[in-house]
A = this chain, B = another copy of it.
Amino acid sequence: MTDAKARQQDTLFVTSLEKGMRILEAFSEDKTELGLGDLVKVTGLEKSAAQRYANTLYELGYLEKNSETRRFSPSVKYLEMAYSYLWADYLAQLAMPRLIDLSRQTSQTINMAEPIGTDIIYVVRMPNHRTNFGASAIGRRVPALVASSGRVILSRQSDQAIRDAVSNWPTRQYTQRTTMDRGAILDNILVAREKGYCTTQGQVLPDEVNVAAPICSIEGIPVGAIHCSLPSIRWTIERAEAEIAPLVVEAAQSIVPSR
């Protein structure tokens, strides 16, 4: 029995709600404005279902509607949800003051990421140089194997977990320089384990050098990472290791979530 089938027979699972969430989720980086037909394509719902659910979300204020094009787009309610989340995220609250300090100390772009399945997600972003918009927006997911934050979080896992992840987790080619060679990724992770931080170059964005250090719970379990982005025009990996890495590591180590 498939998941979907199992759910249909579960009286505690409300399929109508699922369909509504499909509409909410239809919008993304490259789908910012969708008409009814687009929603049908993206969600796989029937036309009449898409109509009713989109209309409901519109009436509830989750979707805006361009009165000329009749297309929907996410409303600011999407942002309010982030606010609710952040208050529930103990790590974000604990880390925030240290991240602010680090941002001031380095005058560079500072991020905090948390692991989520095979990805990491950026929870705090403090841009300090102009960059791609997506790189300064909260809530972005990137495969853990690609991001320095993801790799440094993995570096604190068991050998077994690392090898499993490096073999099986997805990657994605963001730039020409994104490493698709899993052997090289493994090496990078193992070096990170030795050094206590991970450095990468041009993995997600071209022309960026990254330094990431893990945030670990009192039991030593990696629960997040701090990550500093540097423009590679002015920074080499060597210079980043010398000048930035110690600060990032220190900041990350000063954050020890106990719950």
A interface, CB within 8 angstroms of B:
7, 11-14, 16-21, 24-25, 27-30, 32-33, 51-53, 55-57, 59-60, 62, 73-76, 78-88, 93, 96-97, 100-101, 103-104, 107, 114, 116, 121, 123, 126-130, 133-134, 136-141
Of the residues B19, B79, B100, B116, contact of A76 by C-beta under 8 Å: B116
**Are A138 and B83 in contact, CB atoms less than 8 angstroms apart?**
yes
Bound: A55/B136 CA distance, A:
33
**Are B87 and A82 in contact, CB atoms less than 8 angstroms apart?**
no
**Are A78 and B76 in contact, CB atoms less than 8 angstroms apart?**
no
Bound: A85/B32 CA distance, A:
8
**Are A17 and B53 in contact, CB atoms less than 8 angstroms apart?**
yes
**Are A57 and B17 in contact, CB atoms less than 8 angstroms apart?**
yes
**Are A81 and B78 in contact, CB atoms less than 8 angstroms apart?**
yes
Chain B residue at minimal CB-CB distance from A131: B100
Q: How many Å from the CB of A170 to the closest CB on chain B?
A: 17
